Chain A
C-alpha cells in the first residue's frame, strides 16, 4: 500500500538556523512527491515537487528537498529559517492505482523562535 509518513509532528528552530522536516514514503512505483505549506487559515501552497528528474529539487522561498530512493525519503530543508516560515508543512505522494490519488502526510508544524 502507498503511504507517506512525516516523522515529526512539531519542529522548533531558531531564526537563522537550518530547517529539516522529515518525510518517508512507501510506494510500489516511482512516485511523484510534493511538499506543500499551509499558513494559518489559508489553503495549501506548493513548495516543490519531484517527478523523477533531478533528485535534488529546489522550491520557493529557499526550500529544497532530496529524493533518496534507497532510503525512501524526501526530506525538506532550508539553510536559514525565517519567522515567516512558521506554518504547517505537508508531504504528499501521488500514486496511481488505476486513477491517481494524492496521499497526504499528517503534517509537521514548524515553529520559528526569535
Chain B
C-alpha cells in the first residue's frame, strides 16, 4: 500500500505570496492532519480534516487554511506569507477520528524569503 504523499517536496516563496500544499493519504484513510515543524517551536498541530470537514484546529492565524476533497486528499493554504512561516509542513493520515495511528508523509519544506 502506498504511503502518504506530499507535493511539492520543496518550495521557495517570498513574503506576501501565498502557497498551496497537497497531501494524498493512504488509501482507505479518511482523516488528514497537518503539522508545522520548526527548530524553535517543534511540531505544532495545524488542523485535522475528516469527511471534507475540519474537525480540529490548532492555534494558528487565519492565514492558514485547509480543505479536504471527497477522495480524502487534502490541501493547505498559507496566504500573505511571513518569514516565520518557513518550516517543514507534515501531513499525516489515519483511518478515522478515534485516536488511530497517524502515518506521516515526507513533508514539504517551505522557505520564505
Contacts and interface: CB of A to CB of B under 8 A. Distances in A.
A102 B33 contact: yes
A96 B105 CA distance: 23
B interface, how many residues as a size bin? 20 to 34
B90 A44 contact: yes
Interface string B38-54: 00001101001000000
A2 B104 CA distance: 22
Contacts of A94: 99
Interface string A94-114: 111001111010110000000
A6 to B, nearest CB: 10
Contacts of A100: 97-99
Contact of A46 (B97, B103, B105, B106): B103
Contact of B104 (A44, A96, A99): A44
Contact of B42 (A45, A95, A101, A106): A106
A41 B88 CA distance: 9
B65 interface: no
Interface in A57-105: 90, 94-96, 99-102, 104
Interface of B: 4, 6, 33, 42-43, 45, 48, 55-56, 90, 92, 97-99, 101-107, 109
Interface of A: 32, 34, 36, 41-46, 49, 90, 94-96, 99-102, 104, 106-107
